[in-house]
Chains A and B, each alone.
Chain A
Amino acid sequence: DIQMTQSPSSLSASVGDRVTFTCRASQSISSYLNWYQQKPGKAPKLLIYGASSLQSGVPSRFSGTGSGTDFTLTISSLQPEDFATYYCQQSHSPSITFGQGTRLEIK
């Protein structure tokens, strides 16, 4: 299986900050990389698909870049509702895998 590694595992930031999350694949996955946001007790929500395409209805402060093995998710200006856990997920292989998540906390 393709291993997905996210860093950092947790991050503290303030409202208005610019934050970046990193996801690395154990082998090339081209642009078959998605990002999700999950809040406690809720199902994940799709933010970015195909590494850089913004899902309909997702605010433009979210953006994704990368291809091959290295990917980033950036929030340009943190809002109070953005504090959550973020997961990357590869869909290159039929055996889908998720990263372990990055928890974004309020500083």
Chain B
Amino acid sequence: QVQLVQSGAEVKKPGASVKVSCKASGYTLTSYGISWVRQAPGQGLEWMGWISAYSGNTHSAQKLQGRVTMTTDTSTSTAYMELRSLRSDDTAVYYCARLGVAGTRGYSYFDYWGQGTLVTVSS
């Protein structure tokens, strides 16, 4: 069965960086994209970006460009998201999600999700 297992909670100081991992199992990592979505406490879902595990191409949300890097390691079937220059408003649960595609029109959606990683930014 498809599973995405994320790394554990992190506490960081403002200005630091955090790197969250997402280990995929039950499917071939390079057959699907991986997106990262975050959720601040009590707030909605915010899409951060996407990486093609096949080509390594990425696309990130404009507000995070320059601070976020997404990578994959196909040898370990693991995706990574690094966020730099952390601020207090980066405190959130960070999710990885598999990007599925269906139909001749190429409808894409997040069909499997990791369990989430809480990142707390506090001095």
Contacts and interface: CB of A to CB of B under 8 A. Distances in A.
B42 to A, nearest CB: 10
Contact of A50 (B45, B59, B61, B105): B105
A49 B107 contact: yes
Nearest to B99: A91
Given A95-B59, A95-B61, A95-B62, A46 B109 contact: yes
Q: Which of B35, B45, B97 has the most chain A CB atoms closer than 10 A to its own CB?
A: B45
Q: How large is the interface on B (under 10, 10 to 19, 20 to 34, 35 or more residues)?
A: 20 to 34
- The SS class assigned to the A binding surface is loop
- The SS class assigned to the B binding surface is strand
Given A1-B62, A91-B107, A95-B61, A44 B44 contact: no
A81 B37 CA distance: 24
Interface in B31-61: 35, 37, 44-47, 50, 59, 61
Interface residues of A, number: 26
Given A43-B114, A43-B116, A97 B107 contact: no
B62 A36 contact: no
Contacts of B95: 43-44
Nearest to A35: B109
Please provide the 3 A-B residue pairs with the shortest distance between their CB atoms, ordered closest to farther: A43-B113, A50-B107, A49-B109
